[in-house]
Structure 1
């Protein structure tokens, strides 16, 4: 890319072959020099003829390097192999094999490399995690030198980069700018907070999240910060979907160079990546990956560990043809990855659907109903000047519930629940297999304290929000069908309770089947009951335990606004960024060192947080 040459091109393949030839040729030459001092590898004498024939075949392949390769590189490759063959005939080789090819692991991250070796760049625009927290949007540092190599001026380069990452400022942006935001009710301080978040936001909705501009702004504008979805604030203050999209592209960028002003069509292939970038459509074809591997394979002692990326719609026959083609090209190994093929992948793509007029009207009606409910609840609460003493709601002597067995970081955990007659949660028991006496007592006391809180009216949502993502040992992989990773036993327990009793799926690595329409319809029926006092027929819930709360009417009513939403945004502050990052790391496991999500790196995985490499050297 820095040379202005496309990855999927004859020039790129020729240069790759020459560079690989030089590396392996020099390695065998050094191996022969070491053999002159230390002797060749064991049983070299019995294999001398075969070994020299292998080196001669490598030498012969140098002449087949594509004519598009620079002459000096081809000459250097020939000299390296001629020297390796001459020294080997004289002294033998210390190493039977000298090279294999695989993407770099931790060292690539520490050296701040743009790519990981023979792999193309995953995407042009990425989010780099900062040491102090948060993310910083960066463009592949090879893009500016590539544009200069292709003859673009500094002004043209700035325009192209701005197209990819945006202006990152409200100044001069269309529709959504400081003046229009002030006119619609935001304060200077709130706009400054949103401005400061633009450099780490995937789109505008992330810059206007409650944790960024403040929950007070949402309340003042009539939105519930706990239930509002990403982007609701901009819609509420009067911006239309088309205005938001146009401003979003101008401020936060398109994440791709396709369509960039001034970029010539013949140069777009130079910036193609292994996956589609942002809103673009260009991607390196599977044959482009195979061609690059075929250029390097004749000069590698072993095989090449490199991923051939395939779209999700790839058929079995197409995959078969890729393997056959790779074999015909002389490749020793081919590794493919079809997008969305892993069962644990939360998302295979990130798509934004535009709401029609009817959907927007229905959404506005639901928001109005939820706001009215909150107003009525506030009026009822104001009538009582003194707080009421909490009363314990005792469980029946014979009660239902469920027992969930799982392993958290290798430790077996049994979670048992007790329910009231209406199916709401009233108590929990936590038993472990390997804990000591002190830990067992602490867990029992904790379970009793939570059970007491539930029976005295503490909403289950409070416990779930408080104790999920608590981190301590044991932690790690979980064999629950929906929850595959937990940061502690307590985190696992409340993830399960949130899933079973609250219908929370936002912290499930694998979403349950058959969710969405049933919950939405239940929410509408529950809202109708609140305002009319009538009971509508209830359908059996799909998960066996129901979407239940703690049992207090006030707590149940407070959640009506959330359940009336088509898809409640449990983590609105990170929703847009998570969607983007999941498209990069959807199938990847969690890091076994720090617990952060890893990124696919060829056939291996690399942690962007601590640099740990899983399965790579």
Structure 2
């Protein structure tokens, strides 16, 4: 059957997560009294998401699509609404956060247990444990080298969801993997169905403005900030970066991180073995009409 979002399950999960995070404030150990006083006084929590890119693939949506932007906002609004309702329930059960008086919540006559409720964290490590895509990021690559900064160990990783779809489409796994390990992406590989290329679009293939639209869709329903990397190809210019910063400001983002591929002498994630794989064409840059200075 058709894959759909289980909205009621999402709401139920949010309710449990908010209560869990509020409990963590109680049982946590704090390094100094000042941190404990501020944490307990405001009771801020930051419920977020990970696995967004893989959810889109399961739903048959491309990350680089208007439908993905619309779904991003809908998902986050459901999370935010349910989190707020649960925090209000907790306020009735346990009382409002100690610094409630004088806060924006008092001004709105809104009794809640937590000063803030939502945030989008990078989830770089915990997403590996959960075996899903990080945060709201697109897939970095379908196959890549991961270098451990401290130990210097290099691991070659292939996206397991991609392998699942390769088998589902009846393709020869060994042949596809050999090509992907060289390129890191599908766009230039012959005999790959267009549907797979559409679904498994990678970070450097997505225009900066689409990255920003996705981030803005989440930000509109998040009361803290959103961690999101705007990936740019190695040949990106200062003007490309400037356009992206201005566009982020126009969209009302609280923060923006841009990473130009290869700009650091050592980077944690590297694309496939082909040295030319990370030189993407100008389609991955901002449209001057959309990302204007």
Q: TM-score range by the shorter chain?
A: 0.5 to 0.7
Identify the match of residue 271 of structure 1 among 196, 200, 204: 200
Residue 338 of structure 1 corresponds to 260
Instruction: Find the counterpart in structure 1 of residue 64 from structure 2.
Output: 8
CA contact (8 A) 1:2 1:142 kept: no
What TM-score does the superposition give when structure 1 sets the normalisation length? 0.31
Q: Within 2, Cα distance between the matches of 1:333 and 1:22?
A: 23
Question: What is the Cα deviation at residue 273 of structure 1?
Answer: 0.8
| 1:540-580 superposed Cα distances (whole Å, 9 cap, x missing partner) | xxxxxxxxxxxxxxxxxxxxxxxxxxxxxxxxxxxx97x87
TM-score (norm: length of structure 2): 0.62
Q: Kindly tell me: are residues 50 and 328 of structure 1, through their superposed partners in 2, closer, same or farther at Cα, counting changes over 3 Å?
A: farther
Distance 1:128 1:339 in 2: 14
User: How much has 1:105 moved relative to structure 2?
Assistant: 3.6
Q: Match for residue 257 of structure 1?
A: 186
- Structure 2 residue corresponding to 1:107, chosen from 123, 126, 142: 126
Larger Rg: 1
Tell whether the 8 Å contact from 1:39 to 1:94 is kept in structure 2 after alignment.
Answer: yes
Pair 1:25–1:158, CA change in 2 (3 A): same
The answer as to whether partners of 2:186 and 2:192 remain within 8 angstroms in 1 is: no
Which residue does 2:139 correspond to in 1? 121
State how far apart, in whole Å, the 2-side matches of 1:308 and 1:126 are: 18
| Pairing 1:141–2:160 present | yes
Q: 1:318, CA displacement in angstroms? A: 2.2
Deviation at 1:164, TM superposition (A): 2.5
Q: Structure 1 runs of 4+ off > 6 angstroms?
A: none
Partner in structure 2 of residue 97 of structure 1: 116
Deviation string, structure 1 residues 261-285 (Cα, Å, up to 9, x no partner): 2502x6523211113xxxxxxx111
Tell me if the contact between 1:163 and 1:254 (Cα under 8 Å) persists in the aligned partners: no
Aligned-residue offset at 1:303: 1.0
Deviations 1:134-184 (A, max 9, x none): 98755322225557xxxxx84x4323x444213xxxxxxxxxxxxxxxxxx
Aligned residue in 1 for 2:31? none
Q: CA RMSD in A?
A: 3.5
Q: Which position in structure 2 is the counterpart of 1:18? A: 74
SS in 1 for 2:259: strand
Contact 2:229/2:259, CA 8 A, preserved across alignment: yes
User: Is residue 165 of structure 1 aligned with residue 177 of structure 2?
Assistant: yes
1: distance between equivalents of 2:92 and 2:71?
Answer: 32
After superposition, the Cα gap between the structure-2 partners of 1:349 and 1:20, relative to the gap in structure 1 and judged at 3 Å, is closer
Q: Give the Cα separation in 1 of the matches to 2:192 and 2:62.
A: 18
1:323 — aligned with what? 245
Name the counterpart of 2:16: none
Q: Does 1:302 align with 2:224?
A: yes
Shift of 1:40: 1.0
* Residues 305, 48 of structure 1: alpha-carbon distance in 2 compared, 3 angstrom cutoff: closer
Give the distance between the partners of 2:182 and 2:231, measured in 1 at CA.
Answer: 25
User: Does the CA-based 8 Å contact 2:144-2:270 persist in structure 1?
Assistant: no
Unaligned runs of 5+ in 2: 1-56, 148-152, 279-293
| Per-residue deviation, residues 319-363 of structure 1 (Å, max 9, x unmatched) | 122111111111111111122333x348x999xxxxxxxxxxxxx
**Cα distance change on mapping 1:345 and 1:28 into 2, 3 Å:** same
d(CA) in 2 for partners of 1:333, 1:35: 30
| Residues paired across the two proteins, number | 214
Name the structure 1 match of 2:208: 286
Q: 2:185, 2:202 within 8 Å by CA — same for their partners in 1?
A: no
Q: Is the Cα contact below 8 Å between 1:3 and 1:146 reproduced in 2?
A: no
